[in-house]
Structure 1
Amino acid sequence: MSKRWRFMKFFFDNKKKLVIAIVIVELLLLAINVFRFNRSESYLFSQDDFQVDYLNPETNKYERASGAYADHTDKVQSLIFTKPVRLEKGIYNIYVNYSSNADINWHLCYTTLQACLDVSNTKAAHLAYCDKVALPASKTDVSFNSWVRYGTDFEVRMGPERDETGDGIFVLANEVRITYLRGKTILYETVKLLLLFMVLDIVLYLILVKREETKRFFEDKAFTVGVLLFTVLFASYPLLSDKLYFGDDIFYHLRRIVYLGEGLKCGQFPVHIYPGWDMGYGYAAGVGYGDLLLYPSAILVNLGFTLQAGYKFYIVLTNALTAFISYYSFGKIADDKKAGLASSVLFTLIGFRLHSVYSGATVGEFGAFTFLPLVILGLWEIYAKKSKNAYIYLALGVTLTLSCHVLSTFILALVIPIFCLILVEKTLQKDVLIPLLKAAFAIVLLNLHFVVPLVDYMVSKNVSGNGITDMIWARGRDLVTFFGYSQAMDLDTGGFLGLGICSAAVLAIALGFIIAGKFEKKTFVYVRVFALSIAFVLLSTNSILYFVLYQDVPVLYKILANLQFPWHFLDVSCGMVVFWFAIVAKNAICKLDKKNATYIVMTVICFACVMQSNTLLEDVVNTAHPITMYDDAEIDSVMIAEFSIPGIEKNIPMTEKDMIIRKNSGATAQLLEKNGTTVYAQVDNPTEKPVVAEAPLWGYRHYAAKAGGKKLKAFRGDNKKLWVEIPAGYSGKIKIWFREPFLWRLSELITLATLVCIVREYMRTKKQ
């Protein structure tokens, strides 16, 4: 053996030296990466640097001439470009100052960064990630970020759309600035490299250090890992597009991600008031909408990733969690890991879930859907008296559901008591009732951190709450659409698939088992549970029951109307379908002569689910409108939603961005700095009476203000803004900020302590 090979063998056999060498190489590459992006660039374009691109009717070719004005009546299909400039890889901010008469719609008139040499109509080379940002008459400037992926010549495009939709629109470009964001680029590129190194290090650790353990693991779990990986990748494949597919609620939740990140940047945790919402006035989504699974996406956006990358990460994260949690939960119910694996495929790829992910973009709902198997597992084990940890599963399942979606928790609050009631003879048994009560007590303590702020704001009527309570029956769907594939003609987001043909098969087989008495002594119990499962399906339709309640029992109707849409019950229906899948498999697998046949039937049902779900996903890819949302510039507008203050005026944030003193008293106020929900201002009140200064913030409860070390009165004014009372004769700086009250902080500590106790209890019982 040569000296070189002996050295290499010694080097690789000595794992400590190998680790040191890998760390040194990675640190060196990180340093080189920082040096690579450590540069300064800034480009300023005035009207003399602009060109008008237009169609020459005589030659039928596009030509360019100097100019800063685009109008189709002046020059056919005209629009404005800056002179080309070479931009290297990195993140750039583009600022455009202009005049326009366009509406707030980027389809009509917009600006964007384009690669000069990419002459394809759709810029298919994807040399830069940049949105089309509207140039409306209501603004005079816009600012947005662009991610340049490859160094080449770029130009900024400004003006109306070339086709007839741009007719009658003019744009006058005054100034364009392109600024390289050095810090943001270095952070972004460093994090990307660190994530790559982390993956490589894990792989090397498993291969070089834990080789035998890894080999044994994959020998036993290769099939399981493969199926789970396929399930997650299949559920995620529409994300492979460089764009997003439009879903009904997508813009609302994109806002949540970016403004949750802004809340973190300005020091809030947990984030209760989103600081960037409504053009900086704030929005209390964190009070009434669980954000748990959105925090990783918000952190990614803060680290420089595009907004749509953060949104896609959320979908991948929930797909992975859904597959794993359902595998674990239904596997325990079925007492068979293969049945658990098949249940995971069915639960993750069932039609309503994929519709929620892509067509509905109901981020909170499919996030909450992730933890439904834990709720089912908890109830199953409590009533089957199988585990001391059963109450923990139930408590964590409900808690994690609330951490994602209040409405899904509201449904559980209806469903779980009904379930307990139909099994009342079991519910009242000591071995069942005590775990249920322990679970209820744990749920209360685990959710105090969320419930206390929500109740505070709702009781004080500081937020609007759900305003959709009318005609719930009209928002249901026909039962016929739940099992076959039926495209929703009233939506432009792809098709609608409720439960799928696989669910019909599962429910039919379960009914057959019940009729045949396969559950023996438990038959009467399962008859009631099956009837309840069918009831949940029927409640998801446009049932006449809702009209009957509306007319004859309005109090009960008003409670149910908080559902907004009856098909929200499909969450529970999907969970019950997979529960029956696991229970039937458990019953059949225990009979040795039926075991292989059971696995074949399970495979066929899973295959049917995959094929029908593929139809839905293909419809999304082919039908849903593709959009881009790399930066948040296109969602920087006023949006009134359910956790807004009642009665706010949408035009106020657009026109009142500074401190305001309305009375002509001689007092003045000026905004000095605004960091999220924290405002610093200079105020001068030479009068002998207090005056009120209005801050550019909505007047949510628990804002505080100080001046010269003394507390000022801060309250919500008549126009719903935050008003601060300035003392007579005071001149100087004031600070305004959002401060969680003591009761909120105490509830968070109780929640944390309860979580620690529950985890310790779980670990102790697992060891036993």
Structure 2
Amino acid sequence: MKEKIQAYLRKPAVLGLLAVQLLVVAFALAAALRPAAAYTFTADQWESIAQESKIDYDEDGRIGVTEMTDGEDILQTPPMTLPKGHYTVTLDYNYIPGRLASGREHHSCLYLKSDEPLTVTGEEAALNIDRQQDTVVLNVRQNASIVRLVAHNDGGIFTLGNVQIRQDMRYAMVCVLGWALCFAVLDALMLAFARAACGTDAEPKKKMACLLALLTITLLTFVPMLLDGGGLSGHDWVFHLSRIEGIANSLREGQFPVRIYTQAKDGYGYASSLFYGEILLYFPAALRLLGVSVQQAYHIYAFAVLFVTAYVTFYALRQIFGSRKIALAGSALYMLAPYHLHNIYIRMAVGEYAAQAFLLLIPAALCLLYGTTPPTKQQARKAWWQLTLAFSMLLQTHLLTLELVTLLCALFCLCNLRRTFTKRVFSVWAAAVGMVAALNAWFLVPLLTLMLSGDYDVMQELNRVDALNLQKWGSSFAGLLGLDAEAQGIGLALFLGTACFLLCILAGKEMTDRERRLGLWSTTLGVLSCFMSTSTFPWNDLLHVPVLGSMLLKIQFPWRCMALAIPALLLATCCTLSYLQRRAAAKNMGAMLLAVTLAGVMLFYSGYLPTISEKYLGDASQLIYADDYTNVGWYYDGLYLPSEIIQTWDGFDEGEPVTTVTVESITREDGVTSLTCSEMTGQNQHAELPLVYYPGYKVVEGPGTTFKTVNGLVGVTVPANYSGTIRVAFREPKCWLLANGVSAITALGIAVLAIRKKKSRAAAKARPAKG
């Protein structure tokens, strides 16, 4: 076999591919090691390109628009020669923005311009209104001999001084490592395929074929993201990319785990991390810290999540049905279902489609626990870790999906009460709940602390209007079948697969008891979930149902029930394929379902691809305006704000006056807010800081204590006759730190046990057989 592999590696095509890989890495390395391109221009070197505005110098020697005026491009630099890559642009400026009729502040920006096509990416990086110096990142797509930096006045007074433009060589080195890693993975896959092809054992060949099929399914799902702007035009794209940026900036400041995005809300801070699980987003945030753009980091993250979805779905379905072919067909149907694609591209529901990656583990575990025979110890152990992993990841990705799944599992356990309370099954549930709580204590304790306080908007009571809005957002029957490009339904393939299952049941076909039970449970759940996702379901009546009604109404949109309907109807479809496999008809049925699915995918892509547009979120410092109606600095939404706070377009209303001391300055740096003040009345007084209040803010230097003001902001008690600087920063409460320790010790214990178990298995295999 070794000789066969060596002969395979000596083939001209393989050697040619390796040579191409070496050349790509060599060119990338050469680009990373050359001196960084750098330019510096002074105020008098800016060139005027204004058409309506008058260009003049201000009192500080900056050049630009010195009187309030409408927006236009006003200045550009002399031409530059810039190799492709990322560039940091540091600028001195003065900006006094005007306002739109809506009240939103204007926001001036910089962008790169070139007469050569496809050389610059076209993004606009906005400047921080509160500063007179800022650093932004702009990108050059291809080597360009003539590139200019353009200053755009969005409306207001805007003057510019010195500007420095320097290539980010850190990003260039990351590109080298990225190419090397991609080629290493590709070569490892090629070697694995070569070993499987040269061997006589059929099992490795089947494994490699399955891996190739899963990669193909993933790529088919990922195709739109390979285009410019692909995957970055969904409803929530700014919110989720802002989360990645917020995590990265907070990690840079030393927060871990990240609790508050200190740069969010223009520095007021925002703590969606305390309410919204985001452990998977640490991966793209780490890429951001290496210099990868936020768009690239998100695309890498999305591909990883989609491959995990395909693999976990395949793993779960193979465990349930014992067939690779059924598992592969099911993975394709699941990945390419309209609702899954809609979550990825139309809504860009990052948390929800990440949660979908782990849903099939739960029915896989339930099949082990509630099969026709009591579970063995090995089955119980497998079900335990599958439940632990699935519920932990749901908790860390999407709480609303977790809520729906938990209610469903509770209903299932009640319907199977006798089996649930057998010693082995109940012990698995108890151990899984305990392990989920211990592993995720670092997230659960802060979440429960804030949720139980009732002080945040997320806990506001629902009313009849909320219920009617839910009903209004329900899907139509055509939408359920995925018969239009905006569909959020199950798709025609799963409808046909489930219909075939019901026909087999009605016709009295000889299905196994396991197929019949699983299919009927899945069909019942799927039909109920489909019904709940429509405008026909009586959402308004749920207001009168204690506890359960308010929990269900929290899902915001009825079509979230599709997250349950898709896996449920997929299981019913796979039961049909399992039955037909014994009748040698599964191949035709599977081919028909996949053909229908692909037709639906083409319909979806034909509607989505024309809507793609390049959108940009700032790679550094100030988060920018992404559209015409809102400031990305505030785009995080107001769901997790204190209920007392009043948010405006570009800040918060002061509300009731709190500050009673003389404030000389308030500055922020690296997550620390510094208040310089004087107290002259001889009594303890107060100062209100531009920080949204969350538990954990404390005085880290100087006298005084922090408190929550009547406006929902952080206040500081200033001692009598004090004059000086008081510094305030976020520090985790002790009970949160204790929860962090519990999770860390639990994770470490699981890792140690897994390593020991792996070593014992290896030792058992190496031990010679007796006799």
The aligned residue for residue 227 of structure 1 is: 213
C-alpha separation between the residues in 2 aligned to 1:403 and 1:755?
15
Q: Quick one: distance in 2 between partners of 1:744 and 1:646?
A: 23
Residue 474 (structure 2) aligns with: 476
Query: Aligned pair 1:44/2:42, yes or no?
Result: yes
Runs of at least 5 residues in structure 2 that lack an aligned partner in the other structure = 1-6, 11-21, 53-62, 626-630, 765-771
Task: Summarize the alignment of residues 242-321 of structure 1 with structure 2, pairs less than 5 Å apart.
Answer: 242-244=228-230, 245-321=232-308
Given candidates 55, 64, 79, the residue that maps to 1:85 is 79
Could you tell me which residue of structure 2 aligns to residue 64 of structure 1? none
Deviation, structure 1 residue 473: 1.7
Q: State how far apart, in whole Å, the 1-side matches of 2:753 and 2:549 are.
A: 41
On the 8 A contact 1:374/1:393 being kept in 2, the answer is yes
Partners of 2:113 and 2:150 within 8 A in 1: no
- The structure 2 residue matched to 1:457, chosen from 447, 450, 455, is 450
Give the counterpart letter for 2:573 in structure 1.
Answer: F
Give the superposition deviation at 1:617. 2.1
**Within 5 Å, which residues of 2 pair with 1:175-194?**
175=160, 177-181=162-166, 185-194=168-177
Is 1:628 matched with 2:624? Answer: no
In structure 1, C-alpha distance between the alignment counterparts of 2:361 and 2:570, rounded to whole Å: 13
2: distance between equivalents of 1:296 and 1:743? Answer: 27
Partner residue of 1:116?
114
Residues 129-160 of structure 1 deviation map (CA, whole Å, 9 limit, x = unaligned): 34235799999998642112323222344558
Amino acid of the residue matched to residue 710 of structure 2? D
Give the conservation status (yes or no) of the 8 Å contact 2:674–2:728: yes
Secondary structure, counterpart of 1:692 in structure 2: strand
The CA RMSD measured in Å over matched residues stands at 4.0
Contact 1:297 1:310 in 2 (8 A): yes
CA 233–130 in structure 1, closer or farther in 2 if over 3 Å, else same: same
Q: Which residue of 2 aligns with 1:608?
A: 596
Contact 2:441–2:743 (Cα < 8 Å) also in 1: yes
Judge conservation of contact 2:634–2:649 (CA < 8 Å) in 1.
no
Shift of 1:618: 2.1
Gap change, CA 1:197 and 1:110, over 3 Å in 2: same
CA gap of 1:92–1:226, structure 2 versus 1, over 3 A, is: same
Deviation by residue 1:153-195 (Cα, 9 ceiling, x = unmatched) = 22344558xxxxxxxx96665226542245xx12111111112
Residues 378 and 762 of structure 1: CA distance in aligned 2, closer, same or farther (over 3 Å): farther
Instruction: Work out whether 1:353 is the aligned partner of 2:340.
Output: yes
Could you tell which deviates more after superposition, 91-100 or 697-706?
A: 91-100
- The match for 2:687 among 665, 686, 693 is 693
| Structure-2 residue corresponding to 1:4 | none
SS in 1 for 2:554: helix
Aligned: 1:581 with 2:577: no
Report which stretch shifted further, 209-218 or 358-367. Answer: 209-218
Match of 1:407 in 2: 400
Other-structure match for 1:645: 642
Aligned to 2:494: 503
CA contact (8 A) 1:98 1:171 kept: yes
Give the distance between the partners of 1:484 and 1:544, measured in 2 at CA.
Answer: 19
1:656-714 Cα shifts (integer Å, max 9, x gaps): 99xx99325xx5453455213x2344455465333323333212111121335xx6311
Q: 1:703 pairs with 697, 707, 712, which one? A: 697
Which secondary structure state, in structure 1, belongs to the residue aligned with residue 538 of structure 2?
helix
Q: How many residues align?
A: 702
Equivalent position of 1:728 in the other structure = 720
- Give the structure 1 partner of residue 711 of structure 2: 719
Task: Work out the CA distance in 1 between the residues paired with 2:722 and 2:105.
Answer: 50
Relative to structure 1, is the Cα distance of residues 543 and 200 closer, same or farther in structure 2, using a 3 angstrom cutoff? same
Pairing 1:753–2:714 present: no
Residues 228 and 613 of structure 2 are in contact (CA less than 8 Å); yes or no, is this contact kept in structure 1?
no
CA gap 1:81/1:197 in 2 versus in 1, 3 angstroms:
same
Instruction: Tell me, in whole angstroms, the C-alpha distance in 2 between the residues paired with 1:140 and 1:209.
Output: 56
Residues 43-52 or 415-424, more deviating = 43-52
Output the CA distance in 2 between the equivalents of 1:427 and 1:703: 45
How far the C-alpha of 1:718 sits from its partner, in A, is 1.9
Q: Output the TM-score relative to the length of structure 2.
A: 0.81
Q: Secondary structure at the match of 1:276?
A: coil
Cα distance, 1:335 vs. partner?
A: 0.5
Q: Secondary structure at the match of 1:719?
A: coil
Query: Cα gap change, 1:28/1:615 in structure 2, threshold over 3 Å: closer, same or farther?
Result: closer
Corresponding residue number in structure 2 for 1:445 = 438
Look up the equivalent residue of 2:605 and give its one-letter code: L
Distance, in Å, in 2 between the alignment partners of 1:444 and 1:207 is: 41
The amino acid across from 2:311 in the alignment is: F
* TM-score of the superposed pair, with normalisation by structure 1: 0.81
Q: Quick one: structure 1 residues 210 and 370, their matched pair in 2 at CA, closer, same or farther if it must change by over 3 Å?
A: closer
Residue 568 (structure 1) aligned with residue 574 (structure 2): no
1:347-366 Cα shifts (integer Å, max 9, x gaps): 11111010011101111111
Q: Does 1:674 align with 2:660?
A: no
Paired letter, 2:602: N
SS of 1:633's equivalent in the other structure is coil
Deviation per CA, 1:85-139, whole angstroms, max 9, x where unpaired? 2042341326464566463899999644243323xxxxxx332234235799999
Any idea what SS the aligned residue of 2:137 has?
strand
Are 2:530 and 2:561, in contact at CA under 8 Å, matched by a contact in 1?
yes
- Partner residue in 2 for 1:339: 326
Cα gap change, 1:181 to 1:718, in 2 (>3 Å): farther
Output the amino acid matched with 1:190.
Answer: M
Counterpart residue number, 1:18: none
The whole-number CA distance in structure 1 between the counterparts of 2:391 and 2:266 is 34
Secondary structure of the corresponding residue to residue 697 of structure 1:
strand
Amino acid at match of 1:92: T
**Matches of 1:682 and 1:91, distance apart in 2:** 36
Structure 1 contact 249–361 (Cα < 8 Å) conserved: yes
| 1:277-322, Cα deviation, whole Å (9 max, x unpaired) | 1011111111110111111111222222222222222221221111
Between the aligned residues of both structures, percent identity stands at 22
C-alpha contact 1:514 1:526 (8 A) present in aligned 2:
no
Larger mean CA deviation between 505-514 and 525-534 belongs to 525-534
Q: For 2:483, what is the secondary structure of its paired residue?
A: coil
Letter in 2 for 1:502: A
Which of 417, 426, 430 is the matching residue for 2:410? 417
Q: Aligned equivalents of 2:326 and 2:399: distance in 1?
A: 31
